[in-house]
């Protein structure tokens, strides 16, 4: 869990020049975004619970999760959704350019105490609209070899 | 107790004002691993044309889930929270949520339906500034698992 209170040295260093937003003309249908792996452990889920105010015990209390019939603690679906879209925002160059984003939660991400879990995220440009400079990216997120998000589509406005 | 289908179409009064803070945006961005400095550095945000630091795309869920609480906590609705699973979530941003925004949420219960022994409830929270500027539409479908 990141615990830098004042100096955001692990975040991108702010530079004098504004970061460039990806231009529409350089994007084509079928382009693949750089894939990433999101590692999630219990500490991360507690961090997300606090940040999001979603303190449901199934996301941090193993005996409770098992008592309600789950295999183990599971990640917040919204953690998976929120971390997966960073693939798109990093590729676009500005998190404020995502104007639509929707997913189905198809399977839970099970987070064992020791090993945590890895969520593999990839994305492909599905459609582009030259009039609005909007591009639609379909995200794929898998954990333990199973898709955890379905119909995951993010729409961003490019320059 | 089954979910009360009479709630379909219900619209709740606007919630109390939620004030979007730079501190909460930073906390949320770190929790989802968004490294874009636009969440933490006001100068970067201004250089991109925003009034202040902006929230990541899923931040609005924090406010929307508090709105949903009005329905889920209502005993008349018949929703057993221990059986609730999040089925779908969608955001349409009219503009990014920005530090300093004072927003209210209006909860709409769009559909209540039964499918395969489970109940599915789709809610829509319209987030707007106190002045009435539309900011975000957050749509959520929850599944209330039927008894085994």
Check if B48 contacts A (Cβ < 8 Å).
yes
For B27, the closest of A10, A51, A104 (CB atoms) is A51
pLDDT at residue A17, as a whole number: 52
CB-CB neighbors (< 8 A) of B50 in chain A: 96
Residue in chain B nearest A91 by alpha carbon = B36
Report DSSP state, residue B16.
-
What is the CA angle B42-B45-B51, rounded to 5? 85
For B50, the closest of A79, A96, A101 (CB atoms) is A96
Q: Tokens 């630091």 appear where?
A: B53
pLDDT digits (tens, 9 = 90+) for B65-97: 999 999 999 999 999 888 888 999 999 999 999
Confidence band, pLDDT 50/70/90 cuts, at residue A141? very high
pLDDT at residue B81, as a whole number: 83
Report DSSP state, residue B76.
G
pLDDT at residue A18, as a whole number: 54
Closest C-alpha among A132, A130, A124, A140 to residue A99: A132
pLDDT at residue A5, as a whole number: 42
Confidence band, pLDDT 50/70/90 cuts, at residue A9? very low
pLDDT at residue A15, as a whole number: 47
First to last CA, chain A: 34
Q: Which positions 66-95 of A are in contact with B (Cβ < 8 Å)?
A: 68, 77-79, 81-83, 85-86, 89-90, 94-95
Helices (H) and strands (E) in chain A, counts: 4, 6
Q: Is B26 helix (H, G, I), strand (E, B) or coil?
A: helix
Check if B67 contacts A (Cβ < 8 Å).
no
For B87, the closest of A52, A78, A105 (CB atoms) is A105
Q: Higher model confidence: residue A122 or residue B82? A: A122
Query: Which pair of tokens denotes residue A36?
Result: 């990433």
User: Taking residues A21-45, what's their average pLDDT?
Assistant: 98
First to last CA, chain B: 13
Pairing of strands A134-143, A117-129: antiparallel
Confidence band, pLDDT 50/70/90 cuts, at residue A14? very low
For B37, the closest of A12, A48, A154 (CB atoms) is A12
Query: Which pair of tokens denotes residue A35?
Result: 């894939």
Confidence band, pLDDT 50/70/90 cuts, at residue B148? low
pLDDT at residue A6, as a whole number: 44
pLDDT digits (tens, 9 = 90+) for A71-118: 999 999 999 999 999 999 999 999 999 999 999 999 999 999 999 999
Nearest-Cα distance to chain B for A30, in Å, is 23
Q: Number of Cβ pairs closer than 8 Å across A and B?
A: 126
User: Taking residues A8-28, what's their average pLDDT?
Assistant: 69
Query: Which pair of tokens denotes residue B30?
Result: 């770190």
Give whole-number Cα distances, A25 to A29, A135, A155, A159, B142, in Å.
Answer: 11, 11, 16, 9, 39
Closest C-alpha among B140, B123, B65 to residue A48: B65
CB-CB neighbors (< 8 A) of B88 in chain A: 102-105
Residue in chain A nearest B148 by alpha carbon = A69
Residue in chain B nearest A87 by alpha carbon = B34
Q: Quick check: B32 and A86 in contact, CB under 8 A?
A: yes
Region of B33 (left: φ > 0; alpha: ψ -120 to 50; beta: rest) is left
Check if B80 contacts A (Cβ < 8 Å).
no
Q: Is A67 helix (H, G, I), strand (E, B) or coil?
A: helix
Check if B143 contacts A (Cβ < 8 Å).
no
Query: Which pair of tokens denotes residue A34?
Result: 């750089």
Round the average pLDDT of chain A to a whole number and report it: 91
Task: Give the whole-angstrom CA distance, residue B138 versus residue A142.
Answer: 24
Q: What is the ipTM of this complex?
A: 0.96
């Amino acid at each position: 869990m990141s615990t830098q209170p004042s100096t955001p040295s692990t975040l991108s260093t702010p530079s004098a020049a504004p970061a460039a937003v990806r231009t529409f003309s350089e994007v084509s249908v079928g382009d693949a975004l750089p894939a990433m792996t999101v590692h999630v452990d219990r500490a991360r889920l507690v961090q997300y619970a606090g940040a999001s105010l979603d303190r449901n015990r199934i996301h941090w209390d193993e005996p409770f999760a098992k008592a309600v019939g789950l295999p183990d603690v599971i990640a917040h679906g919204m953690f998976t959704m929120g971390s997966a879209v960073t693939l798109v925002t990093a590729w676009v160059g500005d998190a404020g350019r995502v104007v639509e984003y929707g997913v189905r939660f198809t399977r839970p991400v099970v987070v064992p105490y020791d090993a945590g879990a890895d969520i593999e995220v990839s994305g492909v440009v599905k459609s582009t609209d030259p009039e609005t400079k909007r591009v639609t990216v379909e995200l794929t997120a898998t954990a333990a070899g199973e898709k955890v998000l379905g119909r995951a589509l993010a729409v961003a406005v490019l320059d | 107790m089954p979910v009360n289908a009479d709630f379909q179409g219900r619209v709740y009064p606007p919630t109390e004002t939620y004030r979007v803070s730079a501190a909460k945006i930073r906390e949320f961005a770190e929790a989802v691993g968004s490294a874009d400095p636009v969440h933490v550095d006001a100068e970067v945000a201004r250089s991109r044309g925003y009034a202040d630091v902006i929230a990541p795309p899923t931040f609005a869920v924090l406010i929307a889930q508090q709105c949903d609480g009005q329905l889920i906590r209502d005993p008349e609705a018949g929703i057993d929270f221990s059986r609730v699973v999040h089925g779908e979530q969608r955001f349409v941003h009219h503009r990014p949520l920005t530090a300093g925004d004072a927003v209210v949420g209006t909860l709409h219960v769009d559909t209540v339906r039964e499918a395969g022994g489970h109940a599915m409830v789709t809610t829509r929270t319209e987030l707007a500034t106190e002045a009435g500027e539309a900011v975000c539409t957050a749509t959520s479908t929850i599944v209330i698992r039927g008894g085994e």
